[in-house]
Each structure stands twice: as C-alpha cells, then as structure tokens.
Amino acid sequence: MTETLAILIFIGSLFSFLALGVWVGAALLTTAAIGMALFTTRPIGDSMALTIWGEQSSWTLTALPLFIWMGEILFRTKLSETLFRGIAPFMRNLPGGLLHVNIGASAVFAAISGSSAATVATVGKMSIPELRARNYPEHMIIGTLSGAGTLGLLIPPSIAMIVFGVTINESISKLFMAAMIPGIVLALCFMLYVIVWSVLNRGTFNPIADVETSGMGRRLLDLLPVLCLIAAVIGSIYTGVATATEASALGVFGAIVLSAVQRTLSIDTLRESILGAVRTTAMIMMILMGAGFLSLAMGFTGIPRALAEGIEAWELSPVMLILILTLFYIVLGCFLDGLSSIVLTMAVIEPMVRAAGFDMLWFGVYVMIVVEMAQITPPIGFNLFVLQGMTGRDMGFIGRASFPMFLVMAAFIILLFIFPGMATWLPETLSN
C-alpha cells in the first residue's frame, strides 16, 4: 500500500464516521486506531492506554466537570427569571429596548455556566415569551439570543477555554484573564448593532415597553447573589487567591448555597444537575481522549509536519494566516461542534501559530470567537438547534436571523487583530 493511499484511507475514515453520525469521540478513537495500524507497528492497545491516561490525568482538567456542575445547578433554578426582572428596567430606555436584555442576561449567565448552549436555553426560556408578548420582531429576538448566547464560549469560566488550555498546555487562569475584556467588548458590539438597527427601523419598530420600573433597588438586590457568585469565582482566579480548579469548587459551593436561598434546591434538582454534569463531562472527556490518540496517530502519518511546512513555504503574512485560519474554522464549524474543532486541529495549528509569533493567549481568544461563529453556522450550529427547539422556527429563518451577529463577530476579529492588547493587557498586568 502506498503512503498516499494510506493517508486517503486515514482521512476518509474520519469524515466517513462523522458523516454517518458516529459519536465524535468514538470516531476519533477509531480513526486513530486505523492510522496506527496503517503507519506504525507499535501495539495499538498500549499506545491508546498511555495516551488516554495522559490526556485524562491533568489536574487542571478537574475544573471542567465542576464548572459544568455549577452551571447545571443554576440552570435548574429561577436564575433566568431573576436575570430578566433585574436587567430589564435598566435596558428599556436604550434604542432597541428589551432586546438588550438578551445580550445583558447572556453575558451574565455566560460568566456562570461556561456553556453556549446552556446560556441560550436559560436566557431564551424567559426572554422569548416576554419579548414576543411585547411585539418585538421575531428575527431580532432570535438573532440577538443566538449571537449573545455564544458569549458562553468566551466569557470566563468558559468550558471551551479550559479544553483549549489543556490541549496546548497553557495556563487556564491566564486564558480566563485574556478573555474577560474581549468578552465584554463583544457584548457591547452586539448592543451597538441593536441600537443602530433600532434607529434605522424607528418607523416600523414599535414594541410595547410595559416593564415595571418601581422597586428597582429591590431588583438590584435580587441580582446581588448572582453578581457575588461571579465575583467570587472570577475574582479568586484573577487575584491569584485560587487556581481555576479551586475556583470551580468554590463556584459549585456557591451555586448550591444560592439555590438553597432561592428555595429551588431539592434532592431531585441536585440529582438532575449531577446527571447532567456527568453526561456533558463524559462527552467532552471522550472527545479529548479521541483527539489525543488521533494526534499521536497523525504524528506517524506526517500530515501535521507536511501541512506546517507547506504553509510555511507560502510565506504568509500574519494577516493572511489569520484570514485563512478564520475561513478554515468557519468551514469546519459547518460540520463539527466547537469543542471537536478545537481538539481536532490544535496538533496541526499550534506549531504553525507559535512559529508565526502569535501570543497564545491572544490566539486562544481568537479561536473562541471563530468557534462562536461556528455555533451559529448551519447546518451543525448548536445554538441554532437549541433555538429551533425553543421557537419552532425552521432552520433557514433562524440562520438568516443569526447572520447579522455572525458579521458582528467577523468585524470583532478584525478589531481584535488591530488591538491585540485587548486580550493580552489584563494577564500581563495582573501577572506583574
């Protein structure tokens, strides 16, 4: 068998498994085993066991199930109602009115859950009926929720950021610091788009703004526990008091206390949150195992080295490299979820990016944004599926409604490239 044929079989196996709907983790593991059989005589079982153990034995990775569990606990409480009641009075007078609640509430919940899909589901559960009842345009309700929901991948504690950090062996705490300012600025960019859209459509946009504004002090008081939980988790990391893993444990404890205070904590709630966290963690861990083993197999094929040497031979400028990577991840996001895209490509992309001289903290923020764009890109955009189930709209309508937010994120990548200090300033300042 020629080397070219072996490589075609190897790559074809991966895409065939994914096209058939095989679990991503299982597809990666099986493809890696095929690659090991084609390109090396090393025992497959021994190599798999050693690689999987190495991938799963990271202490940093302990933060992953704990942050997921924290989000699962709060997902099953009255948090979304509290967010809407607390944020709505402060947004009603902005151009675009309560559409900003989708963005503001998503940013707040993103700082708790670390999950894009959970952010969309939790905020949408409360905001969609409220905004529909007030005659807000359906495409703007869905579009703002779709775009702002992706903030769960960027604003700490991001689950995808933890996976990225573990994959490239980078500090999770520094990655969280790097993502904070870009996350806030991106949320403001979403709000700016809503303001501009509202001004341009002032004649046709007449929602009912019947938000109760009395007792705003009490509403702020309702938000205080949530804000305190965010400050405790993120603040403990930024001040160096706790590592990301220790902060995740603090987050779980705080979520349990908050749920108990809200009187929404029960044995059933706790059991459901644990089961939800176990399911999500198991899925992510299996993807990480498969990606680690696949990276080992790809090393024997010579594909990463050949790709890196080929791109290096092109002598691309930093601008062209980022442009090509952006297009690459957007296309890849049409077929894979965000986590799979990250772990599947880093073995090839990381050496290339380091050789080009990019700061890996900056690159981590960049990857989160392009993966966010993939979250709202048909046909596999996870946020689109969540919204389809919640709104009953067809995928075409949801995709069109989400497209302006896709363009906002594309523009933000340009902004991030022009001002890299947006991502690097905070970790550099706090590390000194």
- Predicted confidence (pLDDT) per residue in 63-93, tens digit: 778 877 887 787 777 665 666 677 777 777 7
Specify the pTM: 0.77
SS3 262: coil
Between residues 425 and 163, which one has the greater pLDDT? 425
pLDDT of residue 102: 86
C-beta atoms surrounding 364 within 10 Å: 25
- Predicted confidence (pLDDT) per residue in 320-329, tens digit: 889 988 888 8
pLDDT band, very low/low/confident/very high, at 336 (cuts 50, 70, 90) = low
pLDDT of residue 215: 54
Which of 92-106, 205-219, 271-285, 339-353 has the weakest average pLDDT? 205-219
Taking a C-beta distance cutoff of 8 angstroms, is the pair 333, 375 a contact? yes
Between residues 39 and 304, which one has the greater pLDDT? 39
Taking a C-beta distance cutoff of 8 angstroms, is the pair 140, 196 a contact? no
pLDDT band, very low/low/confident/very high, at 185 (cuts 50, 70, 90) = very high
- Predicted confidence (pLDDT) per residue in 265-278, tens digit: 788 888 888 888 88
- Predicted confidence (pLDDT) per residue in 232-251, tens digit: 888 887 777 887 788 888 88
pLDDT above 60: residue 213: no
pLDDT above 90: residue 20: no
SS3 194: helix
Taking a C-beta distance cutoff of 8 angstroms, is the pair 381, 373 a contact? no
Return mean pLDDT, the chain.
80
How close are the terminal C-alpha atoms of the chain, in Å? Answer: 56
pLDDT of residue 50: 78
Name the token pair of 307.
């790709």
Which has the closest alpha carbon to 33: 341, 290, 305? 290
Choose from 67-76, 112-121, 135-144 the range with maximum mean pLDDT: 135-144
Name the token pair of 425.
């300033």
pLDDT of residue 196: 93
pLDDT of residue 413: 94
